[in-house]
Amino acid sequence: MLDTFVKTICSNFEKEAIERNIEFTIQSNLTKESVLWIDQDKFDIILYNLLSNAFKFTPDNKRITVIVEDIHETILLKVKDEGIGISKDRYSTVFNRFNSTGEVQRMGNFIIQSSGIGLHLVKELVDLHNGIIEVDSTENEGTIFTISFKKGNKHFDPNEVDFIVGDEAGKIVKENKELTELSNHNTLHLPSLTTTAKPQLTMLIVEDNVDMREFLLTIFKNTYKTIVAEDGKEALELAFENIPDIIVTDLMMPHMDGIELTATLKKDERTSHIPIILLTAKSAVENRLEALQIGADDYITKPFSPVYLEARIENLLAQRQKLQEHYRTDLLKLNPKKIEKEGVSPEEAFLAKLMDFMERNMDNNNLSVEDLVSEMALGRTVFFNKLKGLTGLSPVEFIREIRIKRAAQLLEDDRYNVTEITYMVGMNDSRYFSKCFKTAYGITPSEYKRNLKAQREDNK
Distance of CA 366 to the CA centre of its chain: 37
Q: Quote the pLDDT of residue 341.
A: 53
Q: Quote the pLDDT of residue 284.
A: 67
CB contact at 8 A, 300 and 291: no
Q: Quote the pLDDT of residue 380.
A: 87
Q: Quote the pLDDT of residue 116.
A: 52
DSSP state of 90: G
- Domains of the chain by start residue, with CATH: 2-187 (3.30.565.10), 202-318 (3.40.50.2300), 336-459 (1.10.10.60)
Q: Quote the pLDDT of residue 134.
A: 92
CB contact at 8 A, 361 and 374: no
E-state strands within 82-141: 103-107, 110-114, 132-138
Q: What is the rounded CA–CA span in Å between residue 374 and residue 370?
A: 6
From the list 54, 222, 45, 30, the residue with the least C-alpha distance to 126 is: 45
**b (16+ CB within 10 A) / e for 377-397:** ebeeebbbbbbbbbbbbebee
Q: Quote the pLDDT of residue 167.
A: 31
From the list 266, 230, 264, the residue with the least C-alpha distance to 249 is: 230
What is the maximal distance between C-alpha atoms in the chain? 92
Q: Quote the pLDDT of residue 233.
A: 94
The helix (H) or strand (E) run that includes residue 74 is strand 74-81
Please give the backbone phi and psi of residue 86, each rounded to the nearest 5 degrees, phi first. -130, 135
Q: What is the rounded CA–CA span in Å between residue 120 and residue 267?
A: 37
What radius of gyration do the chain's Cα atoms show?
A: 28
Q: What is the rounded CA–CA span in Å between residue 362 and residue 375?
A: 15
pLDDT truncated to tens, each residue of the chain (460 aa)?
Answer: 788 889 888 988 898 999 999 999 999 998 877 778 888 778 888 898 899 889 988 999 999 999 999 998 899 999 999 998 888 777 777 887 543 333 444 444 333 444 456 788 888 889 888 899 999 999 889 999 999 999 877 777 655 443 322 233 223 233 333 333 333 445 554 544 443 334 478 999 999 988 888 888 888 888 899 999 999 999 999 999 989 999 999 998 988 999 999 999 998 888 989 999 999 877 667 777 888 888 889 988 877 778 788 888 988 998 888 888 888 887 777 766 655 555 567 788 888 889 989 999 999 999 999 999 999 988 888 898 889 888 888 899 999 999 999 999 898 887 889 999 999 999 988 899 999 999 999 999 999 988 888 887 777 6
Q: Quote the pLDDT of residue 118.
A: 72
